[in-house]
Structure 1
Amino acid sequence: MLNLLQFVRSSSTVSRIASANDKPVLIMVASIGNPEAQYHGTRHSVGHLVIQKLSQDSGYSQIKTIDKYKFKTNPDYPDVLLYQNPGFMNTSGKNLLKPWKSVVALSQWNPVLVILHDELDIDLGKIRVRKQNSSPRGHNGLKSIQQHIGKGYNAVQIGIGRDPSGNKDSNTVANYVLGKFSAEETQRLDDDVVPKIAALIQEMRQGKHIFDTL
């Protein structure tokens, strides 16, 4: 019982709903997906692709270590941390919990969590921001995050569209999301999605979206 109580107490600080206060905002943008070695370039890991491209093209090339966790930063934007969550999509919350706790523990900042993930019901090339307290809508990565961290995050849905066949059975969906983007689709991500995410981060730095709740 003691261990359970300790877990509840230690987890309570990360289950917070972000709201404005007198401290400067620190935005942790985390991508969720599957392990790179096996699943690089797959639709389910589109968040990872975007994080990597931002690191290459938008100046987030420096490494900042907090505790033992490594974040990508841009010296021009010290209030933004990029983090590629390790492990599998379905255990996103478990893997994200400790690095997020390390950010929350930085008492001089008001930390905000932003999750980048794939979305079947949005066309490729489009994105959508969802408010804190939103439903995971069947997304297993977000379900895991809500289980371990709570609903205090903004979700940025990155459209991957659906299988052209129109089938929505579980096998078709699984094969589609675990399939790799074509060269043309990857180029569209680079040309359309990454600039939108970069612009969105700048909006968030100005206080837009990040404190919105349902």
Structure 2
Amino acid sequence: MLHAISVPKPCILYPRSRCFGQRNRGSTRLSVRASLPETNDGFEVEYTPWLVVGLGNPGNKYHGTRHNVGFEMIDQISRAEGIALNTIQSKALVGIGAIGEVPIVLAKPQAYMNFSGESVGPLAAYYQVPLRHILLIYDEMSLPNGILRLQPKGGHGHHNGVKSVMGHLDGSREFPRLCIGIGNPPGTMDMKAFLLQKFSPVERNQIDEALEEGVEAVRSVVLRGFNHQITRFNLGQKYKFHKV
């Protein structure tokens, strides 16, 4: 049996999730048609839309820098899933499509890193995306370069972009995130200089591999949620460079 699904939807459809304001409701809609209630491996597919946001700074000046790997991950997903980033909405470059049969909105905020929440909050409200389906992707200095980590929630870890997003989601930390390790500054190097530095050739290869792995991780969490496969993914990432 085919089920037509579209968003925005009333908040009553998400009884266990927080939804955001009813403003800015217009004619733009996401729609998919689903013919199967579950995937081939037995996981039920939830058709609530996802908002996947990568953090970074706009402009060629910042292209390829450590602080912009969130943008790179969105570009990688865009290419892999054939979702064109061709719309400006809520100060963000946006693409609308699907992963499998699950509606998805990709976004790259264009108001600079420290003001990322100015895009995420309004987009979540407009498309009526619950907190549990807002996936934030950003750089993480506490992880070695090229290591990924998926979490269902967390703090801001002194990351100004994440802090801004939390501020525009009523201070909540209850949303998923995909962290991309960029390592720590060497020696006494200034942190800001490190974040705006480009990767060495070796580091670049590690990041490129991580971006490919990240697409599969995003597909898994969108289609299946946080389950034992994500736990295994995180464990594998932890020891990726320490295999015996």
TM-score bin, normalised by smaller chain? 0.7 to 0.9
Q: 1:88 to 1:66 in 2, by over 3 A?
A: closer
Unaligned runs of 5+ in 2: 1-17, 22-44, 228-244
Which of 174, 177, 180 matches 2:198?
Answer: 180
Which of 127, 135, 141 matches 1:120?
Answer: 141
CA distance in 2: counterparts of 1:51 and 1:23, whole angstroms: 22
| TM-score (normalised: structure 2) | 0.65
1:13 aligns with 2:19: yes
1:85 aligns with 2:109: yes
Q: 1:86 to 1:64 in 2, by over 3 A?
A: closer
Kindly provide the CA deviation profile for residues 95-138 of structure 1, in whole angstroms up to 9, marking residues without a partner as x.
Answer: 32222222217xxx997100000000101111112223x22121
- Poorly superposed stretches of 4+, deviation over 4 Å: 63-69, 74-78
Q: 1:46 to 1:75 in 2, by over 3 A?
A: closer
Structure 1 match to 2:213: 196
Equivalenced residue count is 184
Structure 2 match to 1:61: 83
Question: What is the CA distance between 1:146 and its match in structure 2?
Answer: 0.9
Structure 1 match to 2:125: 101
| C-alpha contact (below 8 Å) 1:79/1:205 kept by paired residues | no
CA distance in 2: counterparts of 1:62 and 1:74, whole angstroms: 11
Report the AA paired with residue 186 of structure 1.
Answer: R
| C-alpha contact (below 8 Å) 1:123/1:160 kept by paired residues | yes
Q: 1:151 to 1:60 in 2, by over 3 A?
A: farther
Which of 179, 189, 193 matches 1:157?
Answer: 179
3-state secondary structure, aligned to 1:82? strand
Q: 1:86 to 1:65 in 2, by over 3 A?
A: closer
Which of 225, 239, 243 matches 1:208?
Answer: 225
Unaligned runs of 5+ in 1: 1-11, 16-21
Report the AA paired with residue 72 of structure 2.
Answer: L
Q: 1:182 to 1:84 in 2, by over 3 A?
A: same
Q: 1:142 to 1:179 in 2, by over 3 A?
A: same
| TM-score (normalised: structure 1) | 0.73
CA distance in 2: counterparts of 1:59 and 1:14, whole angstroms: 27
Structure 2 match to 1:9: none
Aligned residues: percent identity?
23
CA distance in 2: counterparts of 1:66 and 1:180, whole angstroms: 27
1:148 aligns with 2:168: yes
Q: 1:77 to 1:83 in 2, by over 3 A?
A: farther
| C-alpha contact (below 8 Å) 1:113/1:152 kept by paired residues | no
Across the aligned residues of Structure 1 and Structure 2, the Cα RMSD in angstroms comes to: 3.1
Greater helix content: 1
3-state secondary structure, aligned to 2:177? strand
Report the AA paired with residue 99 of structure 1.
Answer: L
